Every structure is written in structure tokens, then in C-alpha cells.
A and B are shown apart, each in its own frame.
Chain A
Amino acid sequence: MLISNLEIIPGSRIVKHLGLVQGSTVRSKHVGKDIMAGLKNIVGGELKGYTDLLKEARQEATDRMVQQAKGIGANAVLNVRFSTSSITQGAAEMLAYGTAVVLE
């Protein structure tokens, strides 16, 4: 499965458009990480626990999007975008979406 945030892929032609596919996940903070983050909020600096959390969330969202694309018979997802939103306090949603296509 080819994933790209470009609209065209150099050297290959789009045979069929299959429409929008998306994948999302909602992650919440871990209490331990939250306490550490509270301490870090005093001294400043990177919150590594959160960085990892969001990286995992991004991976999960991408995987789900790819699953959906596979399900409808695509072999590539183009023009992929990511979007984050906060739902409640302490939880965040990560959304990945793109256009499923068949490349020759």
C-alpha cells in the first residue's frame, strides 16, 4: 500500500478513484504521564510521553485508514492529511484521511 500526501505520483497513472477513506483513534493520557507532565509544566521542555502518545495515535489512525482502503480494493492512498482535535479534557482524537485510488 502506497501512502502519500501528494496528489499525483511521478511515473504512475491513476486508473480508478475510489473516494475518501479515513481512520481515526481517540487516545487519553496516562495518569503517570499526566503527573510527569504536570512537573514538566513548571520547568518547561519536551513532554516525551506525549510525543510518543501522539506518534502512536498517528500510526494507529494511518493503519485504520489503510485497512479501509484495502477493503475497497485500493492499492494507494493519495493526498493524505492529518487532523487533531480535542474531545474532552485529557483526550485527543487523531484523524487521517485521504483519497483511495488504484494505481497502474
Chain B
Amino acid sequence: MADFLDLIVFVILMVVGYTAGRMAERRHYRSILAREQELGGVMVFSNRFPPLSGVRGQALVAGSVVISEDYFKRVVSGIQSIFGGRLRSYESLLDRARREAVLRMKEEARGKGSRMIVNVKFQTFSIPGRNPRSYGAVEVMAYGTALTQA
């Protein structure tokens, strides 16, 4: 009986994780695409050196986000990692997190009147849970120097 209950809970968690996770991901991608259009005017470069002329001011800007996976992704990736290969569910998680971090950095730069960010670096970090099985949040931070042009 207890095993049966466990199974029911598992199935419910899978269904909730799948639907809510899918919805969250789709909504997030929509918002990312819309804001990428909107912030297209702020250019991002990974150059280490700034242009030598025409720069008036500069400021360190950063954007960070912590995104959690859902229950469905965790179970599926657990199964997939037995066979190895691509873990698609994590790829999209990291893609979302990186793009979101860059967008937040761009927003900060735009708020400071800048249209150019150079020397952009990424920092990825996974947050350990209290219980070893509850891994599954990833933090991405993007930072760079926003330049204001003369």
C-alpha cells in the first residue's frame, strides 16, 4: 500500500513537473526573445580591450540569475545519464540562464546610459542543496564593463 502511494506521488510530481516546467520554460523563452529585441541597441563584446578613443565613462555592470530545474527534468536527466550523451533538458536550462543574465546586465548598462559592454565574462555555479539529491539549481552571472561614448 505504501509503495502504491509512493508511486502515485511520483506520478503526480512527474506530471506537475512536466506541465509547469514546460509552461515556465516557454514563458521564459518568450520573455527572453522580446527583451532581446528591445535591448538590441546595447552591444556586447568579449574583447579585453576597449576602443581607445571616444570613450567618456565606464562602469562595472553585472547580471545574475538562479534557475531551478523541474522534477521531470531531474528524473529524465537521471535516466539519460546512465547512457551518457546529450542532456537536452539541462542544455536549455543553461541557455535560458545565460541569456537572462546577459539581458539583466544589458538592462543595467542601459540604465547607466551605455550602449556598449566590453570584456564580458561568464561565471556558472551550481548551488548545492542540503540533501545531495536536491541538486538542480544553476546560477549564471555575466559581468563586463559598460562604456559610455563621448
Interface residues of A (CB under 8 A from B): 2-11, 34, 37-38, 40-47, 50-51, 54-55, 58, 80-84, 86, 89-90, 92
Contact = CB atoms under 8 A, between A and B. Distances in A.
A26 to B, nearest CB: 13
Nearest to A87: B128
Contacts of A83: 123
A43 B130 contact: no
B67 A47 contact: yes
Categorize the interface residue count of chain B: 35 or more
Contact of B127 (A2, A50, A58): A50
A3 B143 CA distance: 12
B137 A41 contact: yes
Nearest to A6: B145
15 contacts: A3-B60, A6-B118, A34-B130, A40-B68, A41-B70, A41-B71, A43-B17, A44-B21, A44-B67, A47-B67, A50-B127, A55-B64, A86-B126, A86-B128, A89-B128
B80 interface: no
Interface of B: 13, 16-17, 20-21, 24-25, 28, 48-53, 55, 58-60, 62, 64-71, 73-74, 100, 118-119, 121, 123, 125-130, 134, 136-137, 139, 141, 143-145, 147
Contacts of A86: 125-128
Given A41-B134, A43-B16, A89-B130, 4 more contacts: A3-B60, A46-B66, A51-B64, A90-B129
Q: Secondary structure at chain A's binding surface: helix, strand, loop or mixed? A: mixed
Contacts of B128: 86, 89-90
Nearest to A90: B130
Contacts of B52: 10
A44 B141 contact: no
Nearest to B96: A46
